[in-house]
Chain A
Amino acid sequence: MKFGVISFPGSCDDVDAQLACARVADVVALWHADHDLQGVDAVVIPGGFSYGDYLRAGAIARFAPIMTEVIEFAHAGGHVIGICNGFQVCCEAGLLPGALLTNTSLRFVCRQVSLEVVNYDTPFTRSLEPGRPLSIPVKHTTGRYYAPEAQLDRLEADGQVVLRYRAGENPNGSLRDIAGVTNEGRNVFGLMPHPEHAVDPLTGSTDGLGLFASLSDSLGALVRGGR
């Protein structure tokens, strides 16, 4: 099982994402200007400020050369995790529903949040301990999840809402406290919190590692099963 982590100009969490992936599987670095996913089993689009967040966060990165391959990969069922800026890129690319708007507070927030796992029946959450909240940090200015009301109803009914900020924890005004969603196919997952910053007891929590381990377990089983 091999992860690939994309670096765009302005990415800043790509190395942490590589280190997190390396704890559970193999990992390679992918470059925004290439047209090559190097045969990875899953793509991580990391946090940061790709292309300076010019125009709208993720709006320019969405057209980076490597995104052609990422979008094809995702449409073919390949697994993609978009973290923070990566979540914004996935929404701009149409890989995930909704959009991320400026925090209601207009402030950059950087703190640990407590998350409820809403759906364990995804490759990203399957190995997590049911009922146990996750403590993972957020750090962003543009994290207010938005989708039209009817779409939010559908996302909830279809189990596409995967993570929610627990009561009183919503740091950005996200509608319905949504912190992470998947696409209909359950193969693309976007979240504002940073699981790659919660993989070592040194920084207070290892809850983020479970999300990477879960995907590695899910895909490892597929690989061993002779996909």
Chain B
Amino acid sequence: MATRAAPPTSIHVVKARVLVRPKVGILDPQGAAAERALGALGFDGVSEVRIGRLIELEVTDPATLPEMCERLLANPLIEDYEVVLGAS
């Protein structure tokens, strides 16, 4: 009886989140508008509202995430990014 080849090992996928934010010092009119709206709703003491972007993805090689961010997911001139691994 022929020996069977071992089944292919399942590719390990890692969940990740990329948080993209407007860089400090760059005017964020969306954040300012949301801040004013919160004030209008009676929520006092809200400041420094900044609106960015959340990208969820699954990757087999998390080491490639910074390059993905630099080249596409964020524009490093105007945005900072943060990679969070293992997010559920």
Contact = CB atoms under 8 A, between A and B. Distances in A.
Interface residues of A, number: 17
A102 B29 contact: yes
Interface in A135-157: 146-148
A98 B26 CA distance: 13
Contacts of A146: 26, 77-78
B73 A101 contact: no
B78 A99 contact: yes
A222 B6 CA distance: 67
Contacts of A104: 27, 29
A173 B27 contact: yes
Which bucket holds chain B's interface residue count? 10 to 19
Interface string B5-30: 00000000000000000000011011
Contacts of B78: 99, 101, 146
A209 B39 CA distance: 48
Sort A-B residue pairs by CB-CB distance and give the 6 closest, nearest first: A99-B78, A99-B77, A104-B29, A106-B29, A99-B75, A56-B75
11 contacts: A55-B72, A59-B75, A92-B75, A99-B75, A101-B78, A102-B30, A104-B27, A104-B29, A146-B78, A147-B77, A173-B29
